[in-house]
Amino acid sequence: MNTDIQPSQEDMHTLALRLGSVFSPATPVSHATLFAGRRSQLEEISDSVSQRGLHTVLFGERGVGKTSLANVFPEFLRNAGIDDLIVSKVNCDSTDNFSSIWRKALREIQISMESPSMGFAPHNVTTSETLDLLLQDDPSPEDIRYLLQRVGGHPLLVIDEYDRLEDGSVSRLMADTIKALSDHSVNATIILVGVADTVDELIAEHQSIDRCLVQVHMPRMSMEELADILDNGLVQVGMEIADTARFLITFLSQGLPHYTHLLGLIAARLAVGQERLQVIEADAEHSIRLAVHQAQQSTLDSYTSATSSSRKDNLFKQVLLSCALAPTDELGFFTARDVSEPMSRIMGKPYRVAAFARHLEQFCKPERGPVLQKQGVRRRYRYRFINPLLQPYVLFHGLSHRLITIDSLERKPN
C-alpha cells in the first residue's frame, strides 16, 4: 500500500468519518467483512448447523466477542453454500420465561398456509403467518418441536444473553426442547449464547443432551486475532499500521476486541488528523490517554470505587494495576503471588504478598465494588476481575498517570 500519496483535506475528513464504520467499540460487529479470527469456533458452530440433531452452546467471559460471532456466522454459512437458513436472533432479559423466549424467536419466522376460498369457484388461498401466532399460551418443548418441523428451510435460532434468565425452569425446558428436536431429527438448530465459565452454568440439565450439544468456548482473543481486527479495518479505508503501534494496541487490549476497536478508532483518527495514512506508535500512545476519558461510565465508576481512599499514601491504584498486569490462566484467574512481580516493578523495590494481601481482600468486598472475584481456600485463593473490561482500563489509567511506562511493559517489536 502506498501511503506517500496525500489525499486532500476534504478526503481526510471523509476518511475520519468512515473509520467509525469499520471500528465499532460501542456495538458488536454485524458484518463478516469486519470480523476477524475465531476460525475454530466458526468451524465448531458450522458442524452443529450442517449435521441434523446437533445444537450449540456458545459461552465465555463478558466482552470476548460472543455476540459479534453470533451476528456474523450466518453470513459465513451462506458464503459456504448453506443458503436455506431462516435466521432468528433474540436477546433474553431477566423477565423472560420459556414461553416469552420462544414468542420472540418464532415471530421472526413465517410459515405458508393454504386454506379454501369462499364463493362459487373455490380454490386454495395461500397466506403467511409468523409462527408465534400458532403458539399456545403455555407451550411445551413438544409444541416447539412440532412448529419448527413444519417450517420449510433450515431455522437457525440464536438465543443470546441466555445467562440473564432468572426463571430456573427455563434450563430444563430448553434441554427438553433440544432433545426433542434431536430425537425427531428436525432440520433446525438452536444456539444458546451466554456469559459463563462452563456449560453447567448455562444449562444445568445439559448432561441429558450431551450427545446432541456442541459446547463452544470463547476464550479471549489472541494478539494475532486482534491484529487482524486492526489490519482488516484499516485496509478497507486505505490505511495501514506500523508494527510497534499494532503491538501496543493488541497488547493493551488484553484479549478483548472492544478495546482493539476503541484504540484502533482513536489512533487512526489521530493519524488522519496529521494527514497521514499510517498509524504510528505515537498515535497508539496518545490513544491510550484519550481512551481513559472515553471509557464507559460504569467502568469509570468501578475504578473510582475500587481505588478511592482518604489517605494520600494508599496503594489501591498500584495494587489494582499489578492485578491487571499479573499473568492469568485461561479463565482469567491469578494468584496473590502472581501480583508480587508487577507490584515490585511498579514500586521500584521488592514487594511480598503480605504487603498487599489486605488490598486484594478489600477488592473482593462490596465497599470497593467488588471488582475482584475470589475462589479457592485460604492461602490458595485465586482472583480475577469481575468485569473483564475493567482490566485494560486499569492499564490505560496507569499509563496515562505514569504509574507505569510503556517501556516497562513486555518488549515491543523493533
The Cα-based distances of 160 to 26, 146, 237 in angstroms read 17, 23, 31
Considering only CA atoms, which of 278, 272, 227, 280 is closest in space to residue 250? 227
Contact 64, 219 (CB under 8 A): yes
pLDDT, residue 168, reads: 87
Q: Is 211 helix (H, G, I), strand (E, B) or coil?
A: helix
Q: What is the per-residue pLDDT across 203-243, written as a single tens digit (0 to 9) for each?
A: 877 778 888 999 999 999 999 999 999 999 999 999 999 99
CA distance to 93, 177, 396, per residue, from 100 (Å) = 10, 15, 41
- Number of helices (H) and strands (E) in the chain: give both, helices first: 15, 12
Instruction: Check residue 160 and give its pLDDT.
Output: 95
Q: Is 92 exposed, middle or buried (0-12, 13-18, 19+ CB in 10 A)?
A: buried
Angle of helix 336-347 relative to helix 316-325, nearest 10 degrees?
Answer: 120
pLDDT tens for each residue of 33-56: 668 788 888 888 888 888 889 999
pTM of structure: 0.85
Instruction: Write the pLDDT tens digit of every residue in 63-82.
Output: 899 998 888 888 888 887 88
Place of cell 420465561: 97
Which distant-in-sequence residues (6+ apart) come within 8 Å of 286 by Cβ?
266, 267, 270
b (16+ CB within 10 A) / e for 56-86? bbbbbbebbbbbbbbbbbbbbbeeeeeeeeb
User: Could you give the CA distance from residue 192 to residue 174 in angstroms, rounded to a whole number?
Assistant: 10
Q: Of 163-167, 264-268, 280-284, 311-315, give the lowest mean pLDDT range.
A: 311-315
The pLDDT score that the predictor gives to residue 27 is 81
pLDDT tens readout for residues 297-324: 889 999 999 999 888 889 999 999 999 9
Identify whether the C-beta of residue 159 lies closer than 8 Å to the C-beta of residue 90. yes
Q: Residue 118 pLDDT more than 70?
A: no
- Quote the DSSP letter at residue 299: H
